[in-house]
Amino acid sequence: MEFDKQSLSLGVMEKITSLAKRRGFIFQGSEIYGGYQGFWDYGPLGVELKNNIKKEWWKSMVYEREDVVGMDASIIMNPKVWETSGHLKAFTDPLVECKKCHHRFKVETIEDKCADCGGEFTEPKTFNLMTEVFLGVTEPKEKAYLRGEITQGVFVNFKNVVDSTRVKIPFGIAQIGKAFRNEITPGNLTFRSREFEQMELEYFIKPDEKDSEKTFNDFKKIRMEWYMDMGIKKDKMRFHDHEPEKRAFYARYATDIEYEAPFGWSEFEGIHHRGDFDLKNHGLKYKDEMTNEEYTPWVIETSGGVDRALLFFLIDSYHEDGERVVLKLNPKLAPYKVAVFPLLKNKPELVGKARSVYSLLRTKYSSVWDDRGNIGKRYFAQDEIGTPWCVTVDFQSLDDDTVTVRDRDTVKQERIAIDKLSEYFQNGLI
Ligand code: GAP
């Protein structure tokens, strides 16, 4: 039974990988040069999906809250940041090496013997995950680091944000951006990459054990609900509290939001209570202007991976219905909202009318034109990339200015007036 379940699941991963490449979501980085392990490129549909995920996250974490502002810090920072933050010393993974084939593995992923050749393992050794870069033109070049988490850029700007805006504790700073880790075992498509994107909120509060516990629990709920609102099935997600010895070096306590991926329950977001660890290290304090009280705030962090979210949205929305493959993505996330077709491509009057509908919709919704093959094939092609609505201009459209709108999930068709289309799609995007 287990075997059947597993082989079925592995099949899903292969199908997602193939669809992602075939339809332009995810390509292997530097593919024509044999690829480069742990690096991925997003194609025309992938970039739309990724942008939509980031847009929806920003909307819910910044625009819909009064207590959060955003920022965008640089990827390379003064190396002193990483020395002070503890990353140069403590941002490590314990690894073992196979004595026979010399492949390295994370300690928590191994069995007794090497999975690649059956060899014995060495004792675990720690490896730093920070990616080094060298700057300057004269030797010796200056060693710096690509950021291992986007977070430190927020902490080192804490005072700048407080001084330049009207934020008062409690408040948050949100950021989305690239992070880099020298991962020794990248894999499962984009799940563990060397270059990836994070979407994070650092929420600053007055130090208080009880309050911080409440804030931590509130954010656990907020983040879990966001993934559900965006369409991930409830029974495919769970919280996983970290044992003290498994927590990151900066965390007082930590919980992961996990997804039941075909390769097992896997983290896609971490909620961390970072206490005063970071601001204290950087020597930064907050002064309450009302009371003149000065203190080092505590931080509750929500840290999600954009690439992991994208991968799990693809997996979770993947459906097969006979020959039909459907990505049942939330319309807000779908790369294209609308596809527009003329019923026949050799009838200029239909093509002209359909083109005018396409031009109208394109200004408001990410839309795509298709006039290849028959209508059934066009529907299938759009289902496979998650387009929620297909609009067909037919002969009746020429008489009464209506079109058929076909729904991806119900496959039902409705006749809608062209001047009501925008309202129709708007309602579907709420
Ligand atoms: N600032 C806290 C922090 O970086 P983390 O748990 O190490 O915490 C947060 O990372 C999220 O970043 C993870 O939940 C995951 O979604 C994403 N992430 C981490 N390492 C990754 C990798 N190698 N590839 C893709 N995503 C990764």
- Return all residues near 193 (Cβ < 8 A) that are at least 6 apart: 38, 39, 40, 183, 186, 307
| pLDDT tens digits for range 50-86 | 999 999 999 999 999 999 999 999 999 999 999 999 9
Query: CA-CA distance, 234 to 229, in Å (whole number)?
Result: 10
Contact 4, 17 (CB under 8 A): no
What mean pLDDT comes out for the span 239-249?
A: 82
* Nearest residue (CA) to ligand 1, atom 5: 270
| pLDDT tens digits for range 137-184 | 999 999 999 999 999 999 999 999 999 999 999 999 999 999 999 988
pLDDT reported for residue 9:
54
pLDDT reported for residue 1:
30
Ligand 1 atom nearest the C-alpha of 269 is 14
| pLDDT tens digits for range 90-129 | 888 888 888 887 777 888 778 889 888 888 998 888 888 9
Ligand 1 pocket, mutate which of 224, 308, 313 (most atoms under 8 A from CB): 308
Residues with a CB atom less than 6 Å from ligand 1: 149, 151, 181, 183, 192-193, 196, 198, 200, 267-270, 301, 303-305, 307-308
- Residue 251 pLDDT > 90, yes or no? no
- Residue 3 pLDDT > 80, yes or no? no
What mean pLDDT comes out for the span 286-293?
A: 95
Ligand 1 atom nearest the C-alpha of 196 is 25
- Return all residues near 95 (Cβ < 8 A) that are at least 6 apart: 104, 105, 106, 107, 124, 125, 126, 127, 184
Which carries the bigger pLDDT value, residue 245 or residue 105? 105
| pLDDT tens digits for range 309-364 | 999 999 999 999 988 999 999 999 999 999 999 999 999 999 999 999 999 999 99
Residue 242, both tokens: 């970290």
Ligand 1 center from residue 9 Cα (angstroms): 24
Ligand 1 center from residue 306 Cα (angstroms): 9
| pLDDT tens digits for range 22-45 | 999 999 999 999 999 999 999 999
| pLDDT tens digits for range 359-377 | 999 999 999 999 999 999 9
pTM over 0.85: yes
Percent of the chain with pLDDT over 90: 83
Ligand 1 center from residue 149 Cα (angstroms): 8
For the beta sheet containing 68-70, the strands, ordered from the edge strand earlier in sequence to the opposite edge, are 68-70, 171-180, 195-205, 298-305, 264-275, 253-261, 237-241
